Structure 1
Amino acid sequence: MDEVMLALLRTLSSLSRPRIWRYLAAPALLALLVGGGLSPWLFPAIEGALLQAPPLSWLVRWDWAGLAGFLATVGSALTLLALAYLLATVLASTLVLPWLLADVARHDYPDLAPMGRDSLLASLVNGLVAALGFCAGWLLTLPLWLVPGLALVLPVFWLAWLNRRTFTPDCLAVHATADESRHLRQVHASRLLILGAVPALLAAVPLAGLLAPALAALLFAHYTLEALRRLRGGAVVSQ
Structure 2
Amino acid sequence: MTALRTDFDTPQPGRFSRSAAGVGLAFKRALVSQCHPTMLFAVLMPFLIALVGAFLLLWLFWTPLTDWLRVEASHWDFVNRTDEWLVAMGLFSLKIYLVPVVAAAILLPVSGILGLAIAAVFVMPLVLRHVGHREYAGLAVQGKHSTAVSVWNAVWVSAAFAAGWLLTLPLWLVPPMALILPIFWWAFAFSRMMRVDAIVEHASPAERRLLIQRHNGGFWVIGLICSLLNLLPPAWIILPVFSALVNAHYGLEALKRLREERVIDV
TM-score of the pair, normalised by structure 1: 0.88
Instruction: List 4+ stretches of structure 1 deviating above 6 A.
Output: none
Q: Which fold has the larger relative contact order, with Cα–Cα distance below 8 Å and residues 6 or more apart in sequence?
A: 2
**Which digits, 9 at most, give the CA deviation of each residue in 1:28-85, with x for residues without a partner?**
1122123223313333444444455589833344362733443333332233331121
> Contact 2:142–2:201 (CA<8 Å) still a contact in 1?
yes
How do 1:63-74 residues align onto structure 2 when only pairs under 5 Å count? 64=83, 66-74=93-101
Measure the CA separation in 1 of the matches of 2:241 and 2:102.
25
Q: Is the 8 A contact 1:50 1:56 kept in 2?
A: no
Instruction: State whether residues 106 and 166 of structure 2, in contact with CA within 8 Å, keep that contact through their aligned partners in structure 1.
Output: no
The residue type paired with residue 215 of structure 2 is: H
Give 1:223 shift.
Answer: 0.9
Letter in structure 2 aligned against 1:15: Q
Among 28, 31, 39, the residue aligned to 2:58: 39
1:161 match: 188
Query: 1:24 matched to which residue of 2?
Result: 43
Counterpart residue number, 1:223? 250
Gaps of 5+ in 1: none
1:52 and 1:229 map into 2 onto residues whose CA distance is 56
SS for the counterpart of 1:174 is coil
Are residues 52 and 138 of structure 1, via their aligned partners in 2, closer, same or farther at CA, if it must alter by over 3 Å?
Answer: farther
Secondary structure in structure 1 of the residue aligned to 2:108:
helix
| Structure 1 SS opposite 2:223 | helix
The runs of 5 or more residues in structure 2 that have no matched partner are 1-19, 85-92
**Aligned partner of 2:238: which letter?**
L
**In the alignment, structure 1 residue 139 sits paired with structure 2 residue 158:** no
In the alignment, is residue 148 of structure 1 matched against residue 175 of structure 2? yes
Distance 1:102 1:114 in 2: 11
How far, CA to CA, are the matches of 2:65 and 2:102 in structure 1? 8
In the TM superposition, residue 144 of structure 1 has moved relative to its aligned partner by: 1.4
In 1, are the aligned partners of 2:149 and 2:200 still within 8 Å (CA)?
A: no
Q: Which stretch shifts more, 49-58 or 108-117?
A: 49-58
Q: Distance in 2 between matches of 1:206 and 1:44?
A: 24
Which of 199, 202, 209 is matched with 1:175 structurally?
A: 202
Which residues of 2 match residues 51-62 of structure 1 at below 5 A?
A: 51-53=70-72, 57-62=76-81
Q: Who wins on radius of gyration, i.e. which is larger?
A: 2
1:194 aligned partner, one-letter code:
V
* Aligned length in residues: 235
TM-score normalised by length of structure 2: 0.79
